[in-house]
A and B are shown apart, each in its own frame.
Chain A
Amino acid sequence: MTDTNTISAGADQKLKEAYFTASQGQLIWSRFKKQKAAMAGAWVLLILILSGLFAPFLTPYSPTLSGRDKDYQNGAPQIPILWDENGFSARPFIYTYERERSFKTNFRWVSTINRDKRRYMTLFPKGEKYTLFGISFERHLFGVDKGKIHIFGTDSTGKDIFSRTLHAINTSLAVGTIGVAIAFVMALIIGGISGYYGGWIDSVLQMITDAIRTVPAIPLFMAIAAFIPSEWSSEERFFFISIVLGFINWPTLARRVRTHLLTERNQEYVLAAQLCGASANHIIRKHLLPSFTSYIIVDLVISFPYMVLSETALSFIGLGLRDPVNSLGVMLQNVTNADVLLNYQWYFIPVIFFIALVLAFVFVGDGLRDAADPYGDTKK
């Protein structure tokens, strides 16, 4: 009896010691791990980010016009199956779609499914060349032995929707990252000046920030995006849009930075450090910055999905990115017409991925916020 007691007491002691010597990062991680929803979100996010990064390998064809399938435009998703009335196959296969235009079909293109001609799926087939991290490859994850496979169908020009979806994740992440980075730098500078100097500088800056915050962001954004000359290339548009996103989203962040600085500046630990003779530089680096880096990171994660959503909304109405660039908004540009709504519903498949991406970000952001709150455990 006494033995087990001492052992558990020893284990307790160890746990306590581990708890008190843990770094801020370890503490946050251990609190984060306890939240199931946040962990699930983190896994989904990781998978989506990886599939975005490795999109050229994971998808069989290029998402641009060079990868289009001339013989399968507005084609329905082709789902690989293992058996049909002609027998079982160990390898998943799809049927061959044949397009015909002749006197019989009144000279219109009519496509038929030929159930006797099977296309078998292959692993790591050679396909179009692509470069990943500076090295060029030509093998893709999957393909079919004859013709092409489109598991999410194709759009009106025959581009593979699966390829476009995965590449679009990439675009969204890039837009979000650039936007968040710019918003962060601006917030740090303006919020920092405001919080550090206080007084009338603070009042004036706050007034301007508040005024910008009252303007509805998306109409404002549309007004700025309307300046883009139509002759700009898609890359230029892409960078401009991301930069503008950052420029519009800084006020909320700046306000947080300012509030943190204003409250932390008067904390007793800062006074203590000052009394010990620490320099201003030392106090800012060793005491003030660590006191709110975790909050800033959380804020950045939380504002990420809003960047992605704003970009999607803008591209959707035609003021954001344009066709050669793949993003969800670009892919959804033409879905409101009745033809698509009635006949080509697979245009909506990418939406699922984006809801997953945004939800994952929201879950992770929420989880991080709870985990970064050092008093989260002691509440209630």
Chain B
Amino acid sequence: MLQFARFALVRGLLAVLTLLIVSFIVFTLMEFVPGDCAERYVAFKNTQGSNITIADIEAERVRLGLDKPYLQRWGVWIYNAFQGDFGDSCILRVNIALLLGQKFWISLGICLSSLVLAYLIALPVGIISATSNSPVLNNSLRLISYLGLALPNFLLALMIMLISTILFGDSLTGLFSAEYRDAPWSVDRMKDFLSRAWLPVFILAWSATAFAIQTVRALMSDEVDKLYVTAAKARGVIGRKLLWRYPARHALGPIVNSLGFDLNRIFNELPIIAVILTLTDAGALLIEALARSNDQQLAGAIIFLLTGSIVTLNFLTDILLAVVDPRVRSSIVK
């Protein structure tokens, strides 16, 4: 048990270290954006008619702490970030945690549901296709997974919009219908949300499913021919029981390991899908912050949070694997 705790601790430290490196990269990038928060705020005031001098900009810089050395500011930023405080948005002048809170959880929920959906489809389909010899099934699955690669999610979203506009006259966009957009959470709002959220979930799951089917299939077809499967067969274990108890368990390890990268892939598509389907989630805010208002604080916070959830998932899958897989467990607990 002690060894296990040590393993978890080391993994946790590694995850924090990764986050530190990532935060440094993100912070540096945000630093390179032309102009800083003080200039932007003061420029905004300028448009409101007040006269701005260099001294005003300097004063604003001191107020925001932008005159401190670079590393010190990074330290403060990361210290606050781990406590869930990302400072104020440059343009909107609102605390980012407040601005982002609910929207980020909605995005994360949508992405995780698509991940779950992808594997709910991919696991049975991948296992069946790895064990069956039917060329029709195998070729059609291959075609589907190639399409998943070649038709990126945003093109799929565009196609669905095109078809639904022609057929139903509704482009199926948005996360809430008009009457629930600003309402507080309630059962009705939840229903409304779910009746619309299935589309982004489906679209985000599209290429993830294609990738997952390929992975599951490759891993399973590597395992089904191995001797321990033959040995189990010789002992009279057959059919589904054989597959679930022997090769599927072996194939599961690498799949659990790769969940973090699958989430990464889904996050990749999130902002673009948000634009197409006019979702009001963190992805849309990210685009807003980057493409339109150049809001470096907000953009940095979102990228950091996205990466943070991937790192967390990686950490959790590492621990989960150590609990589930006796081979990994025995390598930790010597």
Residues of A at the B interface (CB closer than 8 Å) are: 207-208, 210-220, 222-227, 229, 305, 309, 312-313, 316-319, 332, 335-336, 338, 341-342, 345, 348, 351, 354-355, 358-359, 362-363, 380
Q: Say yes or no for B21: interface residue by CB 8 A criterion.
A: yes
Given contacts A214-B311, A215-B303, 18 further A-B contacts (CB under 8 A): A212-B25, A213-B261, A214-B314, A215-B306, A215-B307, A216-B303, A216-B307, A218-B271, A219-B271, A223-B299, A312-B152, A313-B152, A319-B290, A335-B158, A348-B159, A351-B159, A358-B149, A362-B149
8 Å CB contact of B303 from A219, A305, A317:
A219
Contact indicator B29/A224 (Cβ below 8 Å): yes
Residues of B at the A interface (CB closer than 8 Å) are: 17-18, 21-22, 25-26, 29-30, 32-34, 146-147, 149-152, 154-155, 158-159, 161-162, 165-166, 171, 225, 260-261, 264-265, 267-272, 275-276, 286-287, 290-291, 294, 299-300, 302-303, 306-307, 310-311, 314
Complex Cα distance, B158 from A348, in Å, reads 9
Complex Cα distance, B261 from A213, in Å, reads 9
Closest to B152 in A: A309
Complex Cα distance, B170 from A341, in Å, reads 11
**Also in contact, A317 and B271, with CB within 8 A (given A208-B21, A342-B166):** yes
Contact indicator A229/B34 (Cβ below 8 Å): yes
8 Å CB contact of A210 from B18, B34, B269, B271:
B18
Contact partners of A222 in chain B: CB under 8 A: 271, 286-287, 290-291
Complex Cα distance, B275 from A332, in Å, reads 13
Complex Cα distance, B26 from A196, in Å, reads 29
Complex Cα distance, B80 from A228, in Å, reads 29
**Also in contact, A338 and B171, with CB within 8 A (given A212-B25, A219-B286, A313-B272):** yes
Contact partners of A338 in chain B: CB under 8 A: 165, 171
Complex Cα distance, B108 from A140, in Å, reads 52
Contact indicator B162/A345 (Cβ below 8 Å): yes
Closest to A210 in B: B18
Q: Is the interface of B mostly helix, strand, loop or mixed?
A: helix
Contact indicator A220/B303 (Cβ below 8 Å): yes
CB-based closest 3 A-B pairs: A211-B21, A216-B267, A359-B150
Contact indicator B33/A216 (Cβ below 8 Å): no
Contact indicator A317/B22 (Cβ below 8 Å): no
Contact partners of B272 in chain A: CB under 8 A: 218, 313, 316-317
Complex Cα distance, B152 from A312, in Å, reads 10
Contact indicator A362/B307 (Cβ below 8 Å): no
Contact partners of B307 in chain A: CB under 8 A: 214-216
Contact partners of B161 in chain A: CB under 8 A: 336, 341
Contact partners of A363 in chain B: CB under 8 A: 146
Contact indicator A207/B17 (Cβ below 8 Å): yes
8 Å CB contact of B154 from A211, A216, A313:
A313
The minimal Cβ–Cβ distance linking B268 to chain A, given in whole angstroms, is 4
Contact partners of A332 in chain B: CB under 8 A: 158
Complex Cα distance, B310 from A182, in Å, reads 27
Contact partners of B260 in chain A: CB under 8 A: 214
Complex Cα distance, B291 from A358, in Å, reads 27
Can you report 29 A-B residue pairs in the complex whose CB atoms are below 8 A from each other?
A: A207-B17, A211-B18, A214-B22, A214-B260, A214-B264, A214-B310, A215-B307, A216-B268, A217-B268, A219-B271, A222-B286, A223-B29, A223-B300, A223-B303, A225-B290, A312-B152, A313-B272, A317-B271, A341-B162, A342-B165, A345-B162, A345-B166, A348-B158, A348-B159, A351-B155, A354-B155, A359-B150, A362-B146, A362-B149
